[in-house]
Amino acid sequence: MDHSFAVHVPDAVLEPDPLDPGQIVSGSPEVTGKVVWESADGKQIRGIWQITPGVVTDTEADELFVVLSGSATIEFEDGPTLTVGPGDMAVLRQGDRTTWTVHETLRKVYSINL
């Protein structure tokens, strides 16, 4: 990217990003997303991510995100349980093993460092 930009996140069109079936604990959650910026070396990614209700497991990246809509409970294998909703910012540590219980379709903006 060689210029600054703005994205209206609530209306952004997202692309299907299918979950690995092994991650789904219950329900039939569907994930969509869009990378809006990536560094030349691929080590920094900024984007939008959405998941519909259900329960899924994940191994996290080094990520900061802000929830725009929806809600979820994020349980950490070796740590706290977070409840997130509109306006909440969360920081995830690389390698954290989590279980996400998505109560209503959640849309977030994120910044990941690889």
Would you give per-residue pLDDT tens digits along the chain (114 residues)?
A: 578 999 999 999 999 999 999 999 999 999 999 999 999 999 999 999 999 999 999 999 999 999 999 999 999 998 999 999 999 999 999 999 999 999 999 999 999 999
Look at residue 5 and tell me if it is in a domain.
Answer: no
Question: What is the C-alpha to C-alpha distance for residues 34 and 32, in angstroms, rounded to an integer?
Answer: 7
Q: Enter the DSSP assignment of 19.
A: P
Structural domain total, the chain: 1
Q: Examine residue 7 and state whether it is found in any structural domain, yes or no.
A: no
Looking up residue 99, the CATH number of its domain turns out to be: 2.60.120.10
Tokens linked to 12: 């952004």
Domain that holds residue 63: 15-113
Counting every residue written for the chain, the total comes to 114
pTM of the model: 0.94
Asked if residue 22 belongs to a domain, the reply is: yes
Q: Cα(99)–Cα(81) distance, rounded to whole angstroms?
A: 9
